[in-house]
Structure 1
Amino acid sequence: MIKEKIPVGISDFEKIREERCYYVDKTALIREFLEKGAAEVTLITRPRRFGKTLALSMMASFFDIRRDSRPIFEGLEILSERQLCAKWMNQWPVVFLSFKNVDGMDFLYAYGQLEYEISCLFEKHRYLLESKNISVPEAELFEKIRNRQGSAVEVSRSLQLLMQLLNRYCGKKVILLLDEYDVPLSKASTYNYYSEMLEIIRAMMITSLKDNDTLQFAIVSGCLKVSKESIFTGANNFVSDTITASRLDEYFGFTQKDLDRILRDAGAEKHMEEVKRWYDGYHFGECDVYCPWDVMNYLRDLQKNPEAKPVEYWRNTSDNAIIRSFIDYAGSSITGKLEVLLSGGYIVEPIEENLTYDYLHSSEENLWSVLYLTGYLTRVREQELKACLPRGSVALVIPNEEVREIFAATIVRWFGENARTWNRKALFDAVWEGDTAVINEEMNRLLRKTISYHDYREDYYHAFLAGIFAGAGYMVESNREHGEGRSDIVISDSENGRVAIFEAKCSRTPEDMEPDCDRALHQMAERGYAKDYEDTFRQVLCYGIAFYKKRCCVEMQA
């Protein structure tokens, strides 16, 4: 069993090594990058939580001329490359800036976050003020930016200034590492200040990347490849490394070889198939990889409990809003495609890798591209397909069980919220009148509007029932404990002194629906679900309801 700390949420390479955390060696990325001919500007795009920040942090530690990094690289693969290390290790001035915390609900707040990050960067390089080669105006401007007093123009040109000063101070060109460059644009698009933020970020990129004679090379990481015309205008010798065309594919994410070693180190080889089903399935370039965020979270859970089961570690992240915004935009027009994906099939869609955030929601095609580029869908390899694809199109599939669960949960929530806009009066009247014929008719009508899902379970139908009654002036309780058990859904109408209790069953076949209804009613009577309400409400109605895919059967307790 692994005794080292599992570094979940830690993306600082030096901290991981100094605190002796468990680390999967990806230092060969440095050799791969340098030996295959580093372009002047390389853009690396991968979904969130695939190790981009950690990779750039590791590179900053390796190249930075002001550090002695050999001790923290001890035992790692890159140190075996002696000639490469002699030429590159701690031999170059480095500027490393992450934009991952630059966000906000309005431009002023987000811009303040950007100012803060740049101020901290200048504080780290405060020693430059002691240089004999810095002019008085440059020193004054440096202090203005460090103290967050610079104008928008001065902030947008701050990286250029810092690189000029470092070049003069060290007598060498500068390596520029920019992490999550597109986070500010993503947030700006969400909260409608895109044009203001784009102006700042574009100016920073142009002044630091275009015709900059102090630049040795730059690596820029992000989630999406924002159109070159939009942000990288005029960048010299610019190349992209994306999930479709990658030469660095095995260094972002865990390969099967990595996972074999991780589970062996953890003494958890028996969990291999579960991990593969839940977290594998991403195809980057020619490499199949696992999501490192998920694997490390699961590894930490296994440390606490060797029998821990995989869960959706992505579910509670803000990134999942992408799926919801997609469904909100496309709605019922994509029902058929979502049903295919949720059943394990694939769909063929045109993919555009050069996007701008302000046009992400302008078409269904753009939204499929976003789901692909952000890791919620992956591509089916061409050799696995029986048909040729149209030029520019990709066969898309949900990569694993975790993402499938996230899709399903998002769809259920979307359905529940949209159900509130439907005309449900006939259903409500029938529930309070005990008219099971109308209840059956209305429930089945609503079910036909939902999205088919291969893994129908009782919690899916609980959400369906709760969604129908929510927002209609009733109190809705789920899994309330009373009598000698828990009912599935309780609908209370206190104003009129009445309550409806639903016990739901998920049938295996259509023929099981009526017997399952009877079983639900028997359970309610046997466990006394109605007793808690008989003294408070004048009318207590108990319903057994059995579901089979998009069908249901409802019976009432006499």
Structure 2
Amino acid sequence: MAIYLNTNKPLENYRELFDEKYFVDKSKIITLLNDRISTKGKYVCITRPRRFGKSSVADMLGAYYSKGVDSKVMFDTLKISKANSYEKHLNKYNVINISFNTIPDKNKTYDDYIGLIQSGLVDDIKTMYPNLEIKKHFNISHMLSATNEKFIFIFDEWDYIFNNNLFIENQNEFLEFLRNMLKDAPYVALCYMTGVLPIKKYSSGSALNMFDEFTFLRDRTFGQYFGFTEDEVSNLCENGEMDFKELEYWYNGYTTSKGIKVYNPRSVVKALENDNCESYWTNTGAMDEVAEYLKYNTLEIRDDVIEMVAGGEIDITIKEEFRAGQEPPKTKKEIYSAMIVLGFLSYYDGYLKIPNQEIMLQFEKALEDEEFGYVSEIIENSRKMLKATVNGDTKTVVEILHDIHNSEIPILKYSDENSLSCVLTLAYLSARDTYRVEREEKSGKGYVDFSFHPRRKNDIPFIVELKKDNSPEVAIKQIKEKEYAQKFRDEYKDKKVLAVGICYNSETKEHSCIIEEI
């Protein structure tokens, strides 16, 4: 049975995806790749964070191009079937499909790693071409040239050894292995390569400089095919019972270079399957990874991270991308670049932010570490803040706000109502575990500063209105007169709704609070 050449494994993998209830058709990407076959643009490297559908697309391409399978019945039902190039390339190529994430069970050296791939590929070529004359000096490139046929290469997780810090002394050898097999080779009809990290650059260029790279920051061609678009998520919600707004809150936040909003597909599907939104970021050590990057330069990035955790955006220009084989990031921009590549931060139009609630939870966990000093105390106190609010304990609410304001974190010193909003977001940080928290939500005759929508049936919905240099009575009056609770009455007919008025006096440096049931 073939391991890499014309194997049926991609077809079997893609058929499983095709049969899923929440399948999304991404096959139109094939039309773009068909246009690149046997042209100067035949080398394509697409990099995205984990769980953005890279392997699914790789399996789809293997199932479509390989002459070792017959996939017409399935692809006839997909969008690609409407393209003019559809039948011209369907099941017409020898496809070499390699996922580089397999490590030998024993003798885990680089030679064993690459030897496993080389020997498997050589055996496949010999089996498919039994009459091929193979000379002693032949390498894989020589063998493929001797066939006088065209091949499509599909490489998944090309960056596995870089992303996992394996075989560091041999990583340039690995790049040379790929270059020797691919560069200027007439037998290459197309090479599609995907992973998390962009290609390593060294010296004045790269061993793989023949590739067109399409990265999370700069891809204006293939962006909509990795991740679910907003329309796709909305359509999935119509076919199920999930509320689109809930999915949006949890998983929205990534934007392509062309401004298309995309969602993490795995998390969306898991939420739909379980009829429950939560963090499905299941990579072991994801939280540790966030914490590790934050600790590389805690003092320089702490204030930015606090502002982002509070729901703000950072105005910053990121030009250089974190790449395979790069040294651990040290400067602020290097750290942010790495976190963008890994999907922990979203970057669009010059603004950096934490994309959604799912990733926010990773940051919250990371910031609980004592190394972040007062930040970890703020997060701990946010649990008390929620409890005090629903219990009408205004004294504790005021005390917690006072403590946050008096912290040594510069961005939490009030200069305007937006600063007060930042403080309040941090004060209620843990509420996001059990509430959908909205800022400036339309309700009644205006926009609510903060609205807290409970996810659990026994929790109490509440509205918070902020005022600077005024009184909490004025805030409560505004909630009533502008009928901010109207949306809550429609949504929670049998529940009481709390109105919370919070005020800060810039002369006395004191907070005041009123909590009423309305």
Instruction: State the TM-score, normalized to the length of structure 2.
Output: 0.65
Q: How does 1:45-124 map to 2 (within 5 A)?
A: 45-81=47-83, 83-102=84-103, 108-109=108-109, 112-122=112-122, 124=124
| Gap change, CA 1:403 and 1:230, over 3 Å in 2 | farther
Out of 357, 360, 367, the position equivalent to 2:335 is 367
Q: Residue 454 of structure 1 aligns to a residue in which SS?
A: helix
Q: Residue 282 of structure 1: CA displacement?
A: 0.7
**2:12 alignment partner in structure 1:** 14
| Gap change, CA 1:234 and 1:418, over 3 Å in 2 | same
How far apart are the structure 2 equivalents of 1:230 and 1:64? 37
Out of 254, 257, 274, the position equivalent to 1:285 is 257
- 2:6 is aligned with 1:29: no
**1:454 alignment partner in structure 2:** 425
- Decide which moves more: 364-373 or 14-23: 14-23
| Gap change, CA 1:135 and 1:122, over 3 Å in 2 | closer
Q: Residue 285 of structure 1: CA displacement?
A: 2.1
**2:238 alignment partner in structure 1:** 264
| Gap change, CA 1:333 and 1:122, over 3 Å in 2 | same
Amino acid at match of 2:361: E
The question of whether the paired residues in 2 share the 8 Å contact of 1:349 and 1:368 is answered with: no
Q: How does 1:129-144 map to 2 (within 5 A)?
A: 131-135=130-134, 137=136
- 2:313 is aligned with 1:341: no
The question of whether the paired residues in 2 share the 8 Å contact of 1:51 and 1:252 is answered with: yes
| Gap change, CA 1:353 and 1:410, over 3 Å in 2 | same
The question of whether the paired residues in 2 share the 8 Å contact of 1:45 and 1:223 is answered with: yes
Normalized per residue, which structure has more helix? 1
Q: How does 1:463-474 map to 2 (within 5 A)?
A: none
**1:403 alignment partner in structure 2:** 359
Q: How does 1:183-262 map to 2 (within 5 A)?
A: 183-188=160-165, 193-194=167-168, 196-229=169-202, 233=206, 235=208, 237-243=210-216, 244-262=218-236
Instruction: State the TM-score, normalized to the length of structure 1.
Output: 0.61
How far apart are the structure 2 equivalents of 1:69 and 1:53? 18
**1:434 alignment partner in structure 2:** none
Q: Residue 366 of structure 1: CA displacement?
A: 0.9
| Gap change, CA 1:367 and 1:168, over 3 Å in 2 | same
How far apart are the structure 2 equivalents of 1:339 and 1:226? 32
How far apart are the structure 2 equivalents of 1:164 and 1:65? 22
Amino acid at match of 1:25: D
- 2:163 is aligned with 1:165: no
Q: Residue 349 of structure 1: CA displacement?
A: 3.0
The question of whether the paired residues in 1 share the 8 Å contact of 2:31 and 2:80 is answered with: yes
Q: How does 1:389-428 map to 2 (within 5 A)?
A: 394-413=350-369, 415=371
**1:463 alignment partner in structure 2:** none
**2:493 alignment partner in structure 1:** none
Amino acid at match of 1:373: V
How far apart are the structure 1 equivalents of 2:256 and 2:330? 26
How much is the aligned-residue C-alpha RMSD, in angstroms? 4.1
- The higher radius of gyration belongs to 1
Q: Residue 457 of structure 1: CA displacement?
A: 5.4
How far apart are the structure 2 equivalents of 1:315 and 1:404? 14
The question of whether the paired residues in 1 share the 8 Å contact of 2:62 and 2:97 is answered with: yes
Amino acid at match of 1:176: F
Out of 158, 176, 183, the position equivalent to 2:153 is 176
Q: Residue 205 of structure 1: CA displacement?
A: 2.0
- 2:274 is aligned with 1:274: no
How far apart are the structure 2 equivalents of 1:13 and 1:132? 28
Q: How many residues align?
A: 393
How far apart are the structure 1 equivalents of 2:61 and 2:262? 21
1:358-378 deviations in Å (ceiling 9; x for gaps): 323232221111111221111
**1:313 alignment partner in structure 2:** 280
The question of whether the paired residues in 1 share the 8 Å contact of 2:150 and 2:188 is answered with: yes
Amino acid at match of 2:30: I
Q: Residue 219 of structure 1 aligns to a residue in which SS?
A: strand
- Decide which moves more: 58-67 or 109-118: 109-118
How far apart are the structure 1 equivalents of 2:14 and 2:324? 35
Identity across matched positions, percent: 21
Amino acid at match of 2:321: E
